[in-house]
Amino acid sequence: MSKVFMFDALREATDEEMSKDSSVFILGEDVGHYGGSYKVTKDLHAKYGDLRVLDTPIAENSFMGMAIGAAMTGLRPIVEGMNMSFLLLAFNQISNNAGMLRYTSGGNFKIPIVIRGPGGVGRQLGAEHSQRLEAYFQAIPGLKIVACSTPYNAKGLLKSAIRDDNPVILFEHVLLYNLQDELPQKEYFIPLDKAELVREGKDVTIVTYSRMRHHVMQAVDNLLLEGYDPEVLDLISLKPIDIESIGLSLAKTHRLVIVEECMKTGGIAAEIIAQVNDKYFDELDSPIVRLSSQDIPTPYNGTLEKATVIHPHQIIQSVKNLLST
């Protein structure tokens, strides 16, 4: 086992897949000589050359379209968004091309493309750099969406995504790149459609993903000291949602709290609530609790920014309130 940062785990995954398959290449703004805005591609251009680690102009719609065309011809592009918010400029290419071309071509084209990069609420990055786009893309047919939360699952998910023949969006949180974890020396992969059971418990199911996993676990540490026994699921897969794992957990706990950094209106939690009500309503002993970000542009002011997202004390109080009813 070796302890590595998340950005190094992502770099290792990219390096391993590029070394094994010459059709894998990466493109984006500053991914080459600069090594990526968060150093995920550091030194890869020196190893693989400027055509396999391709610096692009600031033109997201253009290089996304180019990457999709490359995927149609048999290559396996990895597109890094310097900030995932910028990929709104390529929304048409991602939705109408990446998501739909395999279907609209009658299966004549595969689109093995990975779209990855930093997102989420950072530390005073301002509204346009603090967006959570998972709900924007979740409704697009043909896409797979995953969100990493640890260096371990970041590496395994990226390797699986690169080898998948469908378009995959991998959301990385801007505040998790310096998170450290022990990784096995042996090669491993993580499924793109399964949630992770982080902790078993019997009192309440807490479903979360990305950075909020760590807020949840801080809350759980306190709840355990007070005699509560929560079960924690890290979604990992945001499309498709592993609703079966949530259902299995509800069969034990019969109570559900969803913690997300996504916006409340139309967010990931909203979709989970809809699916749980459709399939597992009879398992619920209490109304579902949804803890989501405020429906406002993220303020630049640090104090106001902090107030827009969920924190451990809110999770603790919500669980206590739920279990007291």
Which sequence positions are flagged as catalytic? 60, 129
CB 71 within 8 A of CB 113: yes
Report how far residue 11's alpha carbon sits from residue 44's, in angstroms, rounded to the nearest whole number: 9
| C-alpha closest to that of 108 among 168, 165, 164, 160 | 165
* Residue tagged 């590029």 (tokens): 18
DSSP secondary structure string for all residues of 13-82: HHHHHHHH-TTEEEEETT-STT--TTSTTTTHHHHH-TTTEEE--S-HHHHHHHHHHHHHTT-EEEEEPS
β-strand pairing of 230-234 with 196-199: antiparallel
- Cα torsion angle, 290, 291, 294, 298, sign: negative
Kindly report each contact of residues 66-72 with a partner whose C-beta sits within 8 Å and lies 24 or more positions away, as own/partner: 66/27, 67/27, 67/113, 68/93, 68/97, 68/98, 68/101, 68/111, 68/113, 70/25, 71/98, 71/110, 71/111, 71/112, 71/113, 71/167, 72/101, 72/109, 72/110, 72/111
| Token pair for 194 | 């399964």
Name 169's bridge partners.
115, 145
Report how far residue 38's alpha carbon sits from residue 70's, in angstroms, rounded to the nearest whole number: 25
Name 231's bridge partners.
205
For residue 20, the one-letter residue type is K
